[in-house]
Structure 1
Amino acid sequence: MRLLTFAAVAAAPLLLLAACDQLTPAPAPAPDPAPPPPATTTVFGGLDLSQPFTVRGNEPFWAIAVTSATLDYSGVDRPQETAANPGPQVTPSVATFTVTTSLNHPLVVVLTVGPCSDGMSDTVYPLNATVIRPGETLTGCAGA
């Protein structure tokens, strides 16, 4: 009996080693997820187009409030129209927003760099604006 107990005790480490060889190593911990990319900003003519700004003109008076989410067009004797902001298409010389409004009208806002005066005040805006709507082309200025 003693010999059997001694044999079992002596064999135990060998059995443990054999069992360890068959174990699958634990998977490496997953790396931390990458941080989200920073919000993109598009500075054009000194104006950050990712921040709210206004495009405006007069004779006739009109305005487009641009936010990160929407373009809101309004004017004297004109219905209010809203469109989702898809972001601008930007080249070195032109930034363009192309949308379809809540009244299903196409609206194109073209911004070019250069000082712009609205002709009614002493305010000088950093961008010139051309707005193309069905049946008309409006000119004005854009700035914060």
Structure 2
Amino acid sequence: MKQTPFLLLGIGLVVWSCQFKTASAQIDEVPPQPGVFEYSCRGTEPFWLIEIYQDSIVYQRAGGKKILYPYYKAKLKGDSTCYTTKTKVYGKSSNMIIKIVADTCSDGMSENRYPYTAFILRDGEVLHGCAISEPQD
């Protein structure tokens, strides 16, 4: 219950600060990614993973197929980074907003600490999790 106001605030910030882009998706035909990602985001209950590369964004639920979204340059605002993307999955439009905030995060299961908190809004579903980044060469 203590997290509800924080989660609602996060949803509001995601929707307020991002816009959608569009392209076509590939499902389970994700090509090997080139080395370093910008961010890797993950969450529990439900388990999900998003990896943001310089040429694509890969989304996957635990046990589910990988879905490839197009990459668009992030918008930076204060201590947050926002990615927006839109694609078609099985013929239906799929919208995703990823907001990464420079705020420490714990995944709640392993108690690992991450330097970023991630808020995801995908097709009306809100996901909350943690993120890490790797330096870009």
TM-score by length of 1: 0.60
Q: Matched residue pairs, number?
A: 95
C-alpha distance 117-143 of structure 1, shift in aligned 2 (>3 A): same
Q: What fraction of aligned residue pairs are identical, expressed as a percent?
A: 27
Select which of 94, 99, 102 maps to 1:110: 99
| 1:88 aligned residue | 74
| 1:131 aligned residue | 120
Select which of 47, 50, 54 maps to 1:64: 50
The CA RMSD measured in Å over matched residues stands at: 1.8
| 2:59 aligned residue | 73
One-letter code aligned to 1:110: K
The gaps in structure 2 that reach 5 residues or longer are 1-35
Structure 1 stretches (4+) deviating beyond 3 angstroms?
none
| 1:52 aligned residue | 38
The gaps in structure 1 that reach 5 residues or longer are 1-49
Residue by residue, what CA displacement relative to the aligned partner does 1:91-144 show, whole Å, maximum 9, x if unpaired?
113211000134130000011111101111132111111100113100001103
Task: Tell which has more relative contact order, 1 or 2 (C-alpha 8 A, sep 6+).
Answer: 2
CA distance in 1, matches of 2:62, 2:82: 24
